[in-house]
Structure 1
Amino acid sequence: MSVHHYLLFFAPVFLTMIAVEVFVGRKRGLALYSRGETTASIAIALGQRLLALFPLSLVGFITLSAYENRLFEIPSDAWWYIPLLFVLMEFAYYWFHRLSHGVRWLWATHSVHHSIEEMNILASYRFGWTGRISMGGLIYAPLALLGFPPAHYLAMLAVNLMYQSWLHTDLIGKLGPLEGIVNTPSAHRVHHAKNADYLDRNHGGVLMVFDRLFGTYQAERDHVPVEYGLVTPSGSKNPLRIAFHEWGSMLKDLRRHRPAAWPGLLFGPPGWAPDGQARTSADIRREYRNSLGAPDANLAIAPSVQPAE
């Protein structure tokens, strides 16, 4: 069973949240759902649902093999079992999420989630279709090797993703003392932003603990509106183009450069190029801060900075 099967049980709550968001948005005079983005999100979600009907995957085979050769027998009835699994899943999810932004091969799938240029709860189900190719799920395989049954940690991952669904909204402001401790709509708006100093921040699922520990936490600034979407957008609302846009760009780069550069183009950060002409999110952030005359400053954010094509 994949994590998407677990998410089906959450569908009634998910649809109710969308209905409430639309109702409250209209009451406030806000248009939260544009036709093009909404249609694309629904089509991408349906495509993901169809793909989930085919259970075979290399990640699944490796995960089951890891569990069959597990290092420990962990008692699932112990009082500490669920808290321990929660913390370990949160740690694994943080690195899955961070690497999905920092490794282009993984970003080719994850970029679909960030392609939407508005923030609403429906966006939380905009998953990429090519996870079985990018195989980012291998990041969770050590949990199976430790002795956690895959069904258990996939259920915990589903809970993690269900929690994140309500974070995709512009309707909820900052939540006071919770900011910087747990993931909030404000923190997740930062994560979805293409503003220069917001790029690749706030990777946690439920908690912001590991973002603080590893230096990737960034609070939303009240005076700067978030700009959503990709730094280099697909330029289309066609779900097929959205789903395969980054893979197509990656293939074009491979054709343009010699094989010696291919490892960097495939597994380096998005935006990397051997000739130094393109820019990664770290380059964009550094250039912006240098423009302020304070490379290490944590100051105001530029509306957006586009990388070189």
Structure 2
Amino acid sequence: MPEFSAVEGMKFIYPILIGFMVVEYLVARENYELKDSLAGFGIALGASIVASFTKVFTVVVVFQWFFDVFAPIREQYLGYTSIGFAWWAWILAVLADDFNFYWHHRLSHTVRVLWAAHVPHHSSKNFNFAVSIRNGWFITLYKPVFWLWMACIGFEPVMIGTALIINATYQYFLHTKLLGSLGFFGKIFNNPYVHAVHHSSNVEYLDKNHGGIFLFWDHVFGTWQNIIPGVEPKYGILKDPETYNPIKLNTHEFEAIFKDVKKAKNLKQALMYIFGPPGWSPDNSTLTVKQIQAGAIPQGAPSNSASEAA
């Protein structure tokens, strides 16, 4: 079955990626911290176990189901049943995939329950290839939703799965201090120099640079931020769980949501704690990223205190 082969193909890439990680460690081991790296491997192991079920199911069953169900509609109204495998179709698939990733990624930073699933990827205070494999265990439960439209309009499921693999592999190489901005190509393609901004907890850099392969999505949709001279990226998240436990790193924000929902005074507050932006509170005792960047100060805090966000 070709769809299954496309997803399975990822396993042949893993040894190569691990090899690059070993080389990076040998060249710049100062960028690695043992406990942090072990936590990253623990997160990656759990994510791989989940993905071994969900990814194959998504491509073989879910994408194929939507592709088949909408085939008669495509034939009737668009005059085709499949976009096919022409060279231009592959280019469109990669572009569409990256568009999907941008919005999946952006919403994973601005919708709290999605942030809870994504936050393990940002919980490291380091920036290296070991960070690239810190994929949250619950991401695959909602990520495919952003790709369903591709199957509906006629992209072959195997093509969607391959585009996902291309994007994931490219992004692996964004997490290192050993590569720069890629010169001219770095003005079009995502690169470690600007992805460092995305992994930074500096107020100026929060919720910026969500693109996967291409940079123009951030320019078009207003989330672009270059490195600011004199503002060195500080990696990690504002509300550090202060743990290396992979289970805790995957669940701490869900626990925080549960606690907040229990203290909600009405349904609207409960829903905002779940689906509102991280840091939202009805009394501004904690702040969202936009509030922090606007210079707001949480109620009850001294004027010189740092705000808490997600």
Q: Is this a same-fold pair by TM over 0.5?
A: yes
1:82 to 81, 87, 90: 90
> C-alpha separation between the residues in 1 aligned to 2:173 and 2:83?
33
Paired residue for 2:167? 160
Paired residue for 2:13? 10
Paired residue for 1:244? 251
> What is the identity, as a one-letter code, of the residue corresponding to 2:40?
S
Q: Secondary structure at the match of 1:116?
A: coil
> C-alpha separation between the residues in 2 aligned to 1:4 and 1:107?
25
> What is the identity, as a one-letter code, of the residue corresponding to 1:21?
E
Paired residue for 2:66? 66
Contact 2:286-2:307 at 8 Å conserved across structures: no
Paired residue for 1:169? 176
2:232 to 225, 231, 234: 225
TM-superposition CA deviations, 1:204-260 (whole Å, max 9, x none):
111001111111111113422111111111111111100101111111110111323
Shift of 1:59: 6.3
Shift of 1:194: 0.5
The alignment status of 1:102 with 2:103, answered yes or no, reads: no
Give the TM-score, by structure 1 length.
0.86
Alignment length (residue pairs):
289
Q: Which moved more, 1:121-130 or 1:148-157?
A: 148-157
Residues 62-211 of structure 1 mapped to structure 2, 5 A cutoff: 63-70=63-70, 71=74, 72-133=80-141, 135-211=142-218
Contact 1:4-1:52 at 8 Å conserved across structures: no
Q: Which runs of 5+ in 1 are unaligned?
A: 289-303
> What is the identity, as a one-letter code, of the residue corresponding to 2:231?
V
Contact 2:98-2:214 at 8 Å conserved across structures: yes
Shift of 1:287: 1.1
Structure 1 or 2: more helix by fraction: 2
> C-alpha separation between the residues in 1 aligned to 2:182 and 2:55?
42
> C-alpha separation between the residues in 2 aligned to 1:136 and 1:37?
26
Distance 1:56 1:96, change over 3 A: closer
> C-alpha separation between the residues in 2 aligned to 1:91 and 1:2?
24
Q: Which runs of 5+ in 2 are unaligned?
A: 75-79, 297-304
> What is the identity, as a one-letter code, of the residue corresponding to 1:150?
P
Contact 1:66-1:141 at 8 Å conserved across structures: yes
Q: Secondary structure at the match of 2:87?
A: coil
Shift of 1:5: 4.4
TM-superposition CA deviations, 1:22-47 (whole Å, max 9, x none):
12215xxxx11101101100111111
Residues 265-284 of structure 1 mapped to structure 2, 5 A cutoff: 265-284=273-292
Distance 1:105 1:57, change over 3 A: farther
RMSD: 2.4
Paired residue for 1:33? 32
Identity, % of aligned positions:
34
Shift of 1:154: 1.8
> What is the identity, as a one-letter code, of the residue corresponding to 2:53?
F
> C-alpha separation between the residues in 1 aligned to 2:270 and 2:56?
25
> What is the identity, as a one-letter code, of the residue corresponding to 1:20?
V
Distance 1:180 1:240, change over 3 A: same
Give the TM-score, by structure 2 length.
0.86
Q: Secondary structure at the match of 2:53?
A: coil
Q: Secondary structure at the match of 1:287?
A: coil
TM-superposition CA deviations, 1:68-109 (whole Å, max 9, x none):
222352342323110111111111111111111111121111
